[in-house]
Amino acid sequence: MIYRIGTYAQRNVSAVKDALHFDATYNEWVQLPLNFVTSTRTVSFWAKPDVTTFNGQARQFLCAQYKSSGQRTFYAEFRDTGVIRMYLPTSSSGNSAVLIESNAGQYFNAGQWYYISISLDASTGGTMYVDGVAQTNVGASATLGFTRSGSNFYFGGFGPVISTLGNTGTQKELAVWTTARTQSEIAADMTRTFTGSETGLKAYFPTAEGSGATIQDINSSYTGTIITTNTTPNYIDDSMWVLS
């Protein structure tokens, strides 16, 4: 049985390619700067799986910041049990962390967009939101935010540290905040295009370039580089950039 999490407000279909499709076969991701999410408290983005998730599926990694020494700062994935799992740090050093997951038994439909957010509050801890709906598995001990440093941030995959942990699906519109956003803020802003002047907004990538090997945040402060092992000419423009 397929369950629907939250309510998705349909947007107008754009004529411009405004999303990136990742293929685990080619070990693809967008590489953002060193320590990009360090000292931030909310990460949000849209994700659309290629396959309806289920218990026993291949793991699909949506984003990560992970030190080569094994100190995980953060990752998000469609878990092999079919739910979304996030790994959140609970200390500023070492490998202490907490795992939180989306609601058990609720899976995700192929070809359907979901707005995924994680907010780390200094008092109440970490909460995952799917389409603005708070998930019940709360990692209350994750109160420090994204505290560790020493690694790049990878959007659309796990990155090069463990190259077998890839992703096959489509993602767009990454927003990173220095503040712990509330449920009402996340729900209200799901379909909003940010201007870059919002309080607490560190970076917002509209992913509206439509071509080329980079994405740019709205204030031109940060650049992400698209990584793929596919050597086909124009592969990024022709295959990775897609209409949402």
Q: Residue 54: what pLDDT? A: 97
Q: Residue 95: what pLDDT? A: 74
Q: Residue 66: what pLDDT? A: 84
Q: What are phi and psi of 80, to 5 degrees?
A: -70, -5
Q: Residue 164: what pLDDT? A: 87
> CA separation (Å) from 9 to 6, 111, 126, 192, 202?
10, 15, 25, 11, 25
Q: Residue 93: what pLDDT? A: 74
Rounded Cα–Cα distance for residues 167 and 155 (Å): 10
Rounded Cα–Cα distance for residues 144 and 122 (Å): 6
Q: What is the pTM of this model?
A: 0.92
Q: Residue 4: what pLDDT? A: 46
Q: Residue 8: what pLDDT? A: 45
pLDDT averaged per 10 residues in sequence order, the chain, 244 residues: 46 76 97 93 98 96 84 87 93 81 95 97 95 88 85 94 91 98 96 94 97 97 98 97 97
Q: Give residues with Cβ within 8 angstroms of 222, minimum separation 6.
A: 32, 33, 36, 203, 205, 216
- CATH class, domain 19-242, is mainly beta
* CB-based burial label for 164 (10 Å; 0-12, 13-18, 19+): exposed
Rounded Cα–Cα distance for residues 46 and 108 (Å): 13
* CB-based burial label for 80 (10 Å; 0-12, 13-18, 19+): middle
Question: Is residue 48 within 8 Å of 197, Cβ to Cβ?
Answer: no
Question: Is residue 6 within 8 Å of 135, Cβ to Cβ?
Answer: no
Q: Where are the domains of the chain?
A: 19-242
Other Cβ atoms within 10 Å of 123 Cβ, number: 7
* CB-based burial label for 200 (10 Å; 0-12, 13-18, 19+): middle
